[in-house]
Amino acid sequence: MAKFKKIGILTSGGDAPGMNAAIRAVTRHALSQGIEVVGVIGGYAGLLGAATETDKDVIAEKYLRPLKSGSVSKTITLGGTMLYSSRCPEFKTKEGMDLALKTCHEQNIDAIVAIGGDGTFRGATDLTNHGIPSIGIPATIDNDITATDHTIGFDTALNTCLSMFDYLRDTSESHARCIVTEVMGNGCGYLALYAGIAAGAVTIAIPEIPYDYEYGLNKIRDARAKGKRGMIAVCCEKMAKEGEENVAEHLTKLISSETGVDSRFNRLGHIVRGGIPTLRDRLVASQMGVGAVSLLLEGKSNLVMCLRDNRVTHTDINFALVLDRMYKNKLKDGDLEPFTAAQVEEMKLRCTRRAENIRELYEISKSICY
Ligand code: F6P
């Protein structure tokens, strides 16, 4: 069993409901194993900031907050992240890494648990490579980490979208309108697709599948011809190519001009990043938090926690990052070189399965809308 005196926990990138449940699980499990815990404030920026400060009290207040069991009491119900979050481009530079290492060495931080998305994992693998064993926990409302079936925050965000769509449905019904609503996703259509199906959207646009405007407009015409008053159309954000109008706004105008159905554009935006985490997000966060500490104690690092086939497991961070780039068609030269032929095959299989899963769900959405 590896010996750790103190571990640091941080949350980085876009916040996600359930991050606090993960912080709580890491803290409580580490404390139960006799390991001290510090919460790094504001993501990787907190590690850098602490290196520039000498006053112990200021460090503890602004950058590295000692966490006791009571520090995480009553946080499991809270959205956001009690450790705050940021995106920290300086951490990617040599100077930034030197500052982060200085902090870890001076403050006796032996290991890091980093909670966030793919940018967060890149930071965790860099730290591991510089001698600070690190483990990532996937938390983002986008569910865009290919290595895991579920990211912490996704379920809460879905349920928030669903409530908002239900509200929009009320007003769309009263005014006989189609409300085109755009949701976050950062290039990944899961949020729009799942919530759109569950809300009974008349048409859904996601980045993974080219949107067929004529098909969507016909659905709306048919629905109105059959007497449907209120309708919801759901679009994922950031779908337009450069110079093009955003899909959701473009569709809104086309509905009004081409179908005779009055329409309105709506953007849910950051609202779905907040809120009380659902049971699923709290449970997965708790399982992953405990799992991350246990793995560190087994002497393992450079891993990302995953949920696959409803089991909490883990995978190598580099494998996860390259798998992600393969799925998103962003592989860089030499990316696949460190992996065996069997691992590359495994990556391809996982990409195919994920793409198939999305296609199947999309077909379902088409066949059951009005
Ligand atoms: O990755 C989470 C996410 O909410 C994306 O869905 C969205 O595109 C992005 O972050 C928004 O980032 P910011 O909070 O910096 O506006």
Residue 57: inside a domain: yes
Q: pLDDT by residue (tens digit) across 18-53?
A: 999 999 999 999 999 999 999 999 999 999 999 999
Q: 180 φ, ψ to 5°?
A: -95, 115
> Do 163 and 239 fall into the same domain?
yes
Residues 247 and 106 in one domain: no
Identify whether residues 257 and 226 lie together within a single domain.
Answer: yes
The response to whether residue 86 sits with its C-beta less than 6 Å from ligand 1 reads no
Ligand 1 pocket, residue 144 CB under 6 Å: no
Query: With 80 as the cut, is the pLDDT of residue 203 above it?
Result: yes
CATH of the domain at 194: 3.40.50.460
Residues 287 and 148 in one domain: yes
> Which ligand 1 atom minimizes the distance to the CA of 238?
8
Is 203 contained in some domain?
yes
Atom of ligand 1 nearest to the CA of 186: 8
Query: Which of the residues 142, 144, 155, 316 is marked catalytic?
Result: 142
Closest protein CA for atom 15 of ligand 1: 14
Q: Are residues 147 and 66 in the same domain?
A: yes
Confidence of residue 176 (pLDDT cuts 50, 70, 90): very high
What are the pLDDT digits (tens) for 333-359?
A: 999 999 999 999 999 999 999 999 999
Q: 267 and 169, same structural domain?
A: yes
Range of the domain at 40: 6-153+277-330
Q: Which ligand 1 atom is the nearest neighbour of the CA of 87? A: 15
Whether residue 17 contacts residue 157, with contact meaning beta carbons closer than 8 Å, is answered with: yes
Q: Is residue 202 within 8 Å of residue 231, measured between CB atoms?
A: yes
112 shares its domain with 90:
yes
Judge if 134 and 62 occupy the same domain. yes
Q: 141 in ligand 1 pocket by Cβ < 6 Å?
A: yes
The answer to whether the beta carbons of residues 217 and 259 sit under 8 Å apart is yes
Position 343 in a domain: no
| Residues 27, 77 share a domain | yes
CB of residue 192 inside a 6 A radius of ligand 1: no
Q: Is the domain of 175 the same as that of 225?
A: yes
Whether 184 is in the pocket of ligand 1, judged by its Cβ within 6 Å, is: yes
Expressed in percent and rounded to 5, the helix, strand and coil fractions of the chain are 50, 15, 35
With respect to residue 345, please indicate whether it lies within any of the assigned structural domains. Answer: no
Note the pTM of the prediction, 2 decimals.
Answer: 0.96
Is 309 a residue of the active site?
no
pLDDT in tens, 103-140: 999 999 999 999 999 999 999 999 999 999 999 999 99
Question: How many folded domains does the chain comprise?
Answer: 2
